[in-house]
Structure 1
Amino acid sequence: MFVIKHQLKNRRTGTAALAGTVAAVGGYYVYRKQATNQSAASKCIEIIMRLTGVKMVLSDPKKFDKFIKTKRLEGDKPYSIPKIVRLKNPVKRMEYDDMIVYKLRPSETTGEQTSDRKQVLHLHGGGYILQPHKRHWHFLDKLVRRTGWEITMPIYPKIPHHSYEESFPKVLSLYKDMLKETAPEDIVLLGESSGGGFVLALAQLLKKEGLPQPGRLILISPWLDATVSDPDIAVFDKKDPLLAQHGLKGLGELWAGSDDPKNELASPINGDLQGLAPITLFTGTHDILLPDARNLKEKAEKLGVDIAYHEYPNMTHCFPLYPIPEADKALEQLISTVES
């Protein structure tokens, strides 16, 4: 959901201090890796996550309310790619149904140059409130370089100014237009965190609308229940260095708008899984959303739904998006699953 953001004001950690902290623990966690099978790089990412202060904002009711109030006052600002982002593949910005849409294509020397390459519809995470971060872009750029796929990413309407009721029609229309040019089996729906929940809910909506399913659903650390009400959530809240139950619940209520957050479009764990595209799911044991990922796996297996479930020990929320060895392995699994 929140891939490390430095957007929270009054929480700035100096670069030198941060580097010193990471360096101080780096050697220790190289040693720890042998015992925990967790890379030193991933453990450093955990430390950096805690230093961002995001969890503090999501845990403290007063800080969370102030964050939402600030977002309301900021207004619904148009999005542009952060200046710090450097992409190796060309990206095109378009307007679609009053929504900005980006399309990443492989460069002339990247991937297979065929007319039947995979088309990926990517629904980004960010708690339904934050726009794509540089880490999203670097992950997508790397995926394009490795595969030659084309990726379409809509900047769908966000809370607190909008709700799911405004976002789904726009993304559904975009998917319909993709079907006009691409066979459904060559389309992949990809999403992480809130975007992962959005992907599953969209697939359920496609079934209701009588539209063809894509070739596969890829869910990375998906947020599947807007109410975050599973009893085990509190246990994993203590392990998660970034997210917190209080803030997630508040964001989920905003996303549901005037509707019940248990509604299957806001909480797709409550929706019908039968008749959907095959699912591939990545999660980690230091992710607060792990209990619902396990719930989805159990529900899918009981129904005989095709699900490839990858649970990584000691990994944090959205770990495949970070520059760590575990992410490289997850990316290989993701690509091989789609191309097999």
Structure 2
Amino acid sequence: MPSEAFDRFMGALRSAPCENPNRIGHAALRALQDSRIPEDALPCPELQREPCALNGVPCEWLRPPGAPLQRALLYIHGGGWSLGTLKTTRLFLAPMVRRIGLNTVSVGYRLMPEHPFPAGLDDCLAAYTALLEQGFAPRDLALMGESAGGNLVLALALRLKDEGLPPPGRLVAMSPVTYADTLEGSHTSLIPLEHILADDSFVVTKAARLYAPHTPPEHPYISPLYGALGGLPPLLITVGTDEILFDDALRFYQKARLSGVDATLLVGDHMVHSWPIFSERFPEAAQAVEQIAQFLQGRTP
């Protein structure tokens, strides 16, 4: 049974549904969300925030006290490839970083529709290779992201493999988009349970067409489910039972296991889309972040 804190969270979510980019446009909604947050907002003051650029890509480090200097987590935010900024990501990422205990760099990759595919993926690749150039050993790096960011984590891992570049030590994909060529399975069947990716504000195939107007939606960098998964690093996927991307996670996990990948699936009963990012709102999310931290430390979550 979900906690009382989760029930309160869901009550607030139902009374104030997620904003719809189709009503005012993706760029306008992004700017509106960003304008609500002070430039230096940092919900965990004990963290050190350091703006930076990695191979020209705007990023920022969030450094918790005592974090090992030789390790780093590269975080790729979600938002349907069109929403999210370093400021908005920081609000939920900082509490997660505090729990995980790793120096984390958040990537301010270019967003659609202004910058369609492969601009965002190129930026994530540039940030990752910059960390290698700074001397980080690949095994000491990890990739993590939620939703469209989870999609980019998996796409980046496939691209690194395709280009013969060293892979990171671990991957974490929270509620990733893994197939964007069809609206089937949970994409439609679980709409009545979905409260974050409302069916009128995030239709997977429509978002993918805006993101990659000149690339077939079944391309593995758009739909990682269709890639050759063998050889990927150890992978943790999280997903909630009450979200339209449930099948995205389940199918990718199954194919990864069948491809010989050391994959783990963490399913949150009754949980919503990208539920671990709400670690300050309800205990189920906080517990999930603890399990993510265990995985990133090389232990079974």
TM over 0.5: yes
In 2, Cα distance between equivalents of 1:97 and 1:297: 32
From 67, 74, 88, give the equivalent of 1:121.
74
In 1, Cα distance between equivalents of 2:29 and 2:196: 23
Residue matched to 2:142: 188
Deviation at 1:238? Answer: 1.1
Q: Is the counterpart of residue 39 in structure 1 residue 3 in structure 2?
A: yes
Under a length normalisation based on structure 1, what TM-score does the superposition of the two structures give? 0.78
Is 2:194–2:272's contact at 8 Å kept on the other side of the alignment?
A: yes
Q: Is the counterpart of residue 111 in structure 1 residue 66 in structure 2?
A: yes
What percentage of aligned pairs have identical amino acids?
A: 30
CA, structure 1 residues 199+285, in 2 after alignment: closer, same or farther (shift >3 Å)? same
Amino acid corresponding to residue 53 of structure 1 in structure 2: P
CA, structure 1 residues 197+98, in 2 after alignment: closer, same or farther (shift >3 Å)? same
Identify which range, 253-262 or 87-96, moves more after superposition: 87-96
Name stretches of at least 5 consecutive residues in structure 1 with no aligned partner.
1-36, 59-63
Deviation at 1:263? Answer: 1.4
In 2, Cα distance between equivalents of 1:128 and 1:202: 14
Deviation at 1:318? Answer: 1.1
In 2, Cα distance between equivalents of 1:258 and 1:85: 38
Identify which range, 38-47 or 329-338, moves more after superposition: 38-47
Is 2:100–2:292's contact at 8 Å kept on the other side of the alignment?
A: no
Structure 1 vs Structure 2 CA RMSD: 2.5
Amino acid corresponding to residue 220 of structure 2 in structure 1: E
Amino acid corresponding to residue 82 of structure 1 in structure 2: I
Is 1:76–1:161's contact at 8 Å kept on the other side of the alignment?
A: no
Residue matched to 1:241: 195
Residue matched to 1:176: 129
Amino acid corresponding to residue 287 of structure 1 in structure 2: E
Q: Is the counterpart of residue 307 in structure 1 residue 260 in structure 2?
A: no
Is 1:125–1:191's contact at 8 Å kept on the other side of the alignment?
A: yes
Alignment of 1:125-144 (within 5 A): 125-132=78-85, 136-144=89-97
Deviation at 1:148? Answer: 3.4
Alignment of 1:4-83 (within 5 A): 37-54=1-18, 57=20, 64=22, 66-68=23-25, 71=26, 82-83=37-38
Alignment of 1:151-300 (within 5 A): 151-180=104-133, 181-245=135-199, 247-248=202-203, 249-300=205-256
Is 1:111–1:147's contact at 8 Å kept on the other side of the alignment?
A: no
Q: Is the counterpart of residue 338 in structure 1 residue 296 in structure 2?
A: yes
Under a length normalisation based on structure 2, what TM-score does the superposition of the two structures give? 0.87
In 2, Cα distance between equivalents of 1:278 and 1:261: 26
CA, structure 1 residues 46+73, in 2 after alignment: closer, same or farther (shift >3 Å)? closer
Name stretches of at least 5 consecutive residues in structure 2 with no aligned partner.
none
Deviation at 1:203? Answer: 0.1
CA, structure 1 residues 72+120, in 2 after alignment: closer, same or farther (shift >3 Å)? closer
Aligned length: 289
Deviations 1:271-330 (CA, angstroms, capped at 9, x unpaired): 111111111011110111001111112212222221011111100011111121101211
In 2, Cα distance between equivalents of 1:271 and 1:234: 23
CA, structure 1 residues 101+74, in 2 after alignment: closer, same or farther (shift >3 Å)? same
Amino acid corresponding to residue 261 of structure 1 in structure 2: P
* DSSP-derived class of the 2:268 partner: strand
Deviation at 1:94? Answer: 2.2
* DSSP-derived class of the 1:251 partner: helix
Structure of higher CA gyration radius: 1
